């Protein structure tokens, strides 16, 4: 008879995400995970297959929470410049929290690529979704005359995503929102 799982996998994935985010993949052992999650090694393997499976689940959880929230920020902005500024500033604030842990997806790209193809796909999908959402927002703004039409909206969106990724790496070196937020104003001049 199969045993009933005695822990909430959603809570375990959320807690694992926090541990991977704080320490990185390589510095987080299975033993660290079982201690942090309060589960046995057998339970971890039964639920997630292995450490890689739990890591992928943690990245997906990040994608469905933090990355999805970033896209909602774009949809809620009063105007394009305000929406893009809010997106960038909020990402800085999340990245500098907890001593500058950065962005889990950018951390994963820096630590795990190019060898880890599932991580590559997840990161590419999230960055692609962000770029697509920005492209749509910028195209509509250019059509309304709200921003300059001197740059192709897709290229401008790619620039902003690239800028954000660099900013998120920098947030690990300089975990100070007050030092990083003025850079957002410089990036926003691309909309002029």
Spatial distance between the Cα atoms of 104 and 18, rounded to a whole number of angstroms: 9
pLDDT in tens, 8-42: 999 999 999 999 999 999 999 999 999 999 999 99
Using only C-alpha atoms, the chain has a radius of gyration, in whole angstroms, of 19
C-beta atoms surrounding 74 within 10 Å:
17
DSSP-derived 3-state class of residue 176: coil
pLDDT in tens, 124-164: 998 898 899 999 999 999 999 999 989 999 999 999 999 99
Spatial distance between the Cα atoms of 55 and 72, rounded to a whole number of angstroms: 25
Q: Chain-wide mean pLDDT for the chain? A: 91
| Spans of all domains in the chain | 58-191
- The pLDDT score that the predictor gives to residue 5 is 56
Spatial distance between the Cα atoms of 170 and 73, rounded to a whole number of angstroms: 22
Residues belonging to the chain: 192
Burial class (CB in 10 A: 0-12, 13-18, 19+), 111: middle
Phi and psi, residue 78, nearest 5° = -70, -40
Looking at the predicted structure, is the pLDDT value of residue 2 above 70? no
Superfamily for 58-191? Tetracycline Repressor, domain 2 (1.10.357.10)
Task: Give the pLDDT band (50/70/90) at residue 3.
Answer: low
């Amino acid at each position: 008879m199969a045993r009933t799982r005695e822990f909430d996998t959603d809570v375990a994935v959320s807690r694992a995400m926090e541990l991977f985010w704080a320490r990185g993949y390589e510095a987080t052992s299975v033993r660290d995970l079982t201690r942090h999650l309060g589960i046995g090694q057998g339970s971890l393997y039964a639920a997630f297959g292995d450490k890689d499976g739990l890591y992928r689940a943690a990245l997906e959880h990040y994608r469905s929470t933090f990355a999805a929230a970033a896209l909602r920020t774009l949809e809620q902005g009063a105007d394009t410049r305000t929406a893009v500024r809010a997106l960038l500033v909020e990402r800085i604030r999340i990245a500098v929290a907890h001593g500058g842990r950065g962005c889990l997806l950018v951390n994963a790209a820096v630590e795990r690529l190019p060898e880890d193809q599932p991580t590559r796909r997840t990161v590419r999908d999230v960055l692609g979704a962000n770029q697509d959402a920005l492209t749509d927002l910028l195209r509509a703004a250019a059509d309304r005359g709200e921003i300059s039409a001197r740059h192709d909206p897709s290229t401008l969106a790619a620039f902003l995503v690239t800028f954000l990724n660099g900013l998120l790496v920098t947030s690990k070196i300089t975990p100070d929102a007050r030092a990083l937020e003025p850079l957002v104003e410089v990036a926003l001049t691309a909309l002029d």
